[in-house]
Amino acid sequence: MTTKNTSKSASTNSSKAINEKDLITNFLTNLEELHKEASKIQANLQQDANEKIQAANETYKKVYESEQKSLSDYMQKSQKSTSDSGNDEYEAYCKANKSFFKKLNDAQENFRNTHTKINEDFSEKFQSKHKGLLKDYIKVYREYNTSMMDVLSKSVQSNNPNEVIKACQSMISVSQDALVKGIHLEQ
């Protein structure tokens, strides 16, 4: 009779340990998936932002190079011109110079605006998707927590100090891991 009870108790403890292990594995797997998804979203948005910034920078460079050449041409013509046409060339040079700086300022302004808009879009998109991920994370954590509390409750009811200690250690270990991954998700 005693042998049967001992065998049954060992079987229950073994089953409990397996359930506990499954809970931990499932929780960490779900958490890892959420973490990967957050990283993927961030990488995609960052790539999109980088491409737009690069395009704005190329536009700025083209304007700068084109206007620099135009200005250089006027300066060469001015140096070659006779004194009679010197005033006309000088006026043309001043106009070109003025045009150059206006276009340069416009290009710089466009670059700044593009950069600001990209940052705003990035922040808005990431925050929006991020909130969804955090909700999923909290849901997974709560489900796990409820399950672990159930394991802990059953361990306490078994009146076996070793089972209680083991369940507590599992909860502490996984909670710490969840906290670390939760911080990554919040960044």
pLDDT at residue 113, as a whole number = 74
In a domain, 99, yes or no: yes
**How far is Cα 173 from Cα 186, in angstroms, rounded to an integer?**
20
Average pLDDT in the 15-35 region?
64
pLDDT at 1 over 50: no
**How far is Cα 151 from Cα 23, in angstroms, rounded to an integer?**
10
In a domain, 141, yes or no: yes
SS3 of residue 163 by DSSP: helix
- Per-residue buried b or exposed e for 87-108, using 16+ beta carbons within 10 Å of the residue's own CB: eebeebbeebeeebeeeeeebe
pLDDT at 185 over 50: no
In a domain, 5, yes or no: no
**How far is Cα 53 from Cα 46, in angstroms, rounded to an integer?**
10
pLDDT at residue 55, as a whole number = 75
pLDDT at 9 over 60: no
pLDDT at residue 186, as a whole number = 45
- Where in the sequence is the domain holding 129, given as residue range(s)? 14-186
In a domain, 56, yes or no: yes
Average pLDDT in the 156-165 region?
64
Residues 171/141, Cβ–Cβ less than 8 Å: no
pLDDT at residue 175, as a whole number = 58
Average pLDDT in the 128-140 region?
67
Cα distance from N-terminal residue to C-terminal residue, the chain: 58
DSSP 15-58: HHHHHHHHHHHHHHHHHHHHHHHHHHHHHHHHHHHHHHHHHHHH
In a domain, 94, yes or no: yes
Q: Which long-range contacts (CB under 8 A, 24 or more apart) does 18-26 make?
A: 19/151, 20/148, 20/151, 20/166, 20/167, 20/170, 23/144, 23/147, 23/148, 23/151, 24/170, 24/174, 26/144
Give tens-digit pLDDT for 27-79. Answer: 667 667 766 776 776 677 677 767 776 776 777 777 777 777 777 776 676 66
In a domain, 98, yes or no: yes
Report the percentage of the chain scoring pLDDT > 90.
Answer: 0
Average pLDDT in the 100-129 region?
70
In a domain, 147, yes or no: yes
In a domain, 108, yes or no: yes
Counting the structural domains of the chain, the total is 1
pLDDT at residue 183, as a whole number = 46
pLDDT at residue 61, as a whole number = 76
